[in-house]
A and B are shown apart, each in its own frame.
Chain A
Amino acid sequence: MAYQVNGATIEHDEEGYILTLSDWSKELADVIAETEEIDMNEEHWEVVNFLREYYEEYQIAPAVRVLIKSIKKSLGPEKGNNKYMYELFPYGPAKQACKIAGLPKPTGCV
Chain B
Amino acid sequence: MENDAKRFLYVNRKAPYGTIYALESLEVVLIGAAFEQNVSLAFLDDGVFQLTKGQDTQGIGVKNFSPTYRALGDYDVNKLYVEKESLEERGLSVDDLQEITYEDEDDDWEEKPSINIVSRSEMADIMANQDVVLSF
Contact = CB atoms under 8 A, between A and B. Distances in A.
A57 B71 CA distance: 9
Contact of B68 (A59, A65, A66, A109): A59
B67 A57 contact: yes
A57 to B, nearest CB: 6
Secondary structure type dominating chain B contacts? helix
Interface in B1-53: 27, 30-31, 33-34
Nearest to A56: B67
B31 A59 contact: no
A5 interface: no
B51 to A, nearest CB: 15
Given A66-B74, A69-B74, A59 B34 contact: no
A58 B71 contact: yes
Interface residues on A, range: 10 to 19
B34 A110 contact: yes
Contacts of A110: 31, 34
Nearest to A54: B71
B30 A63 contact: yes
B74 A109 contact: no
A66 B83 CA distance: 29
Interface string B55-70: 0000000011101101
A2 interface: no
Contact of A63 (B34, B63, B68): B34
A92 to B, nearest CB: 15
Contacts of A57: 67, 70-71
Contacts of A63: 30, 33-34, 75
A70 interface: yes
Q: Most A CB atoms within 10 A — which of B30, B71, B75? A: B71
A62 interface: yes
B26 to A, nearest CB: 9
A60 B68 CA distance: 7
Given A63-B30, A65-B34, A109-B31, A70 B74 contact: yes
Interface of A: 54, 57-60, 62-63, 65-66, 69-70, 109-110
Given A58-B70, A63-B33, 5 more contacts: A57-B71, A62-B71, A63-B30, A109-B31, A110-B31
